Amino acid sequence: MSSRCRFPAVLLCAIVTFAAPLASAQTPGKAKPDFADEPYVFELLLNVVRYENDGTGTRKTTARIRVQNEAAVQALGQMIFGYSSANENLAIEYLRVRRSDGTTVEAPPDSAQDLPAPVARQAPMYSDYREKHIPVPGLRPGEILEYRIVTTVEKALFPGQFWLGYEFEKNAIVLDEQLEVSIPKGRDIKLKTQPGHDAKVTTEGDRRVYRWTGSHTERETDDSKDARK
């Protein structure tokens, strides 16, 4: 099994939309959740997005994952990151394993393969969608997998426009998930979030920065998925 980096987008002109994070509040007096039965736990999942007025920009994803059993080794033994080759470039800044003895094993940059996405075989309209496959070196239970990928939007599909759809991770335990979106300070956008999940907005120089934080400490079941519909 492989792991895929999800960063879905929606075609909305100059609009940024987000689904709300699933945050699990700790009930007073309730025992701290025990994740020992989980195959892996995201200790950190950080997405930093920067857009320019011409529609170009970058998306940087940083993850730290605690590997807890052999099922996780099988699931995370090869990482797969997707991108659109028509207007984007994807770079794997680092992928490494932190061993329990304190040593670090780095995946060689040239070990990544750039391949057509399977969906392109069934739907030629997605022929520009590609994937970078990179094996994780010597992963074992009890270790930490870390990676950072940077996707650069080199050419706007619609000049002067940008858009983004983001959904917080629900299919795994995530202790700390963060989303940061930086845009030019004077840029007007339309922003849509679920009620009660407003961003923290700051002005930093000539940029306006939106930040969301969340955590997900209960695995989503079929019943909880139905309840959200």
User: pLDDT by residue (tens digit) across 160-199?
Assistant: 999 998 888 888 999 999 999 999 999 988 888 888 888 9
pTM: 0.84
* Burial environment of residue 8 by CB neighbours within 10 A (0 to 12, 13 to 18, 19 or more): exposed
* Positive or negative: CA dihedral 40, 41, 44, 48: positive
How buried is 137 (Cβ within 10 angstroms: 0-12 exposed, 13-18 middle, 19+ buried)?
middle
Q: How far is the C-alpha of 97 from the C-alpha of 100, rounded, in Å?
A: 10
pLDDT of 23 reads 53
Dihedrals phi, psi of 112, to nearest 5 degrees = -80, 140
